[in-house]
Chains A and B, each alone.
Chain A
Amino acid sequence: MGDEAHLLARVAAGDERAFARLYDQFADRVFRYSLTLLRDRHLAEEVTQETMTAVWKGAGSYSGRSRVSTWIFGIARNQAHRLLEREARARRRIDEPLFLPDPAEEIGRKEAVLHALEQLPASQREVVFLTFYEGLSYPEIAEVLGVPEGTVKSRMFHARRKLAEALR
């Protein structure tokens, strides 16, 4: 059993200190994933809160079949889509620029990369995030997204083409 799976087993047994450690390992990553996907800080905060609460309450339902990160990002994605549907029902548009550069700083390479990511469709953006930031394999990403592996590969293929063009 991996370290994270061991930690999650302790969380399932109600160990609050284990949950605090798991929280510290995942909260920022879940927040950044939600932010990348939703482009809204308040919604990303809500997704993180809901996801980590679901992890605390539902740790016992983790089957051990996938990596802990795959399981947690799957929960986060469901929460994010639930909020997106809620926002759509309320007819609220999400058009907050996600990547706000610090006005005191010159626009550098990092900001250019974030800006290029922002231009991608959300479905491609999350594949790039999960591959390069989270280090997930394409079968794991297919599991998180609930799509065939071929779809993950083709989203990545198109994303890379667009990013290469934007960052040339």
Chain B
Amino acid sequence: MIDCEEARELIPWYANGTLSPPEARELAAHLAECPACRAELADALLLSIEVRDAISNLPGAPKKVKEEVLPQSEVPVARLDLGSFLLGLSLGVSVRGSKVPVEGDLRLLGRKVRLFKTQRR
């Protein structure tokens, strides 16, 4: 049987429901016999509710963090082709999140050579 000191160390995790079954059983047996530790448990339960409530009130991650972190596929929105397949220029504009990259390519004998690509907000 555990004593009051051991019981009080475990009580916060009894309150959050994460003790292993043998620990929870031992603690429950102690609580059944000990009014002082039952009062400790009541305090811990109240504290856990209040802490959860208070922290839920803190702001969440700003939206711009998501934009920075999420890999975003590029969606083409406009394309201008000049010349022919053998020799030509093309200009493409796409959208990637909040950015609008513009790219320019040169076509030479069917091969594409990237001239530039920008990342603009």
Contact = CB atoms under 8 A, between A and B. Distances in A.
24 contacts: A27-B61, A27-B69, A28-B61, A30-B61, A31-B61, A31-B62, A31-B65, A45-B61, A45-B65, A48-B61, A49-B69, A52-B65, A56-B71, A99-B58, A128-B51, A131-B16, A132-B15, A133-B55, A136-B16, A140-B18, A157-B9, A160-B12, A163-B47, A164-B47
B103 to A, nearest CB: 21
Interface string B28-52: 0000000000000001100110111
A23 B70 contact: yes
Given A114-B58, A135-B16, 8 more contacts: A27-B69, A32-B59, A49-B68, A99-B58, A136-B18, A140-B18, A163-B47, A164-B47
B60 to A, nearest CB: 3
A41 B60 CA distance: 10
Contacts, number: 107
A contact face: mostly helix, strand, loop, or mixed: helix
Nearest to A137: B18
Given A45-B62, A48-B61, A49-B68, A132 B52 contact: yes
Contacts of A88: none
A50 to B, nearest CB: 9
Interface of A: 16, 19-20, 23, 27-28, 30-32, 35-36, 41, 45, 48-49, 52-53, 56, 99, 109-111, 113-114, 117, 128-129, 131-133, 135-138, 140, 153-154, 156-157, 160, 163-164, 167
Given A113-B51, A132-B48, A137 B60 contact: no
A113 B18 CA distance: 23
Contacts of A35: 58-59
Nearest to A135: B16
B69 A52 contact: yes
A47 B54 CA distance: 21
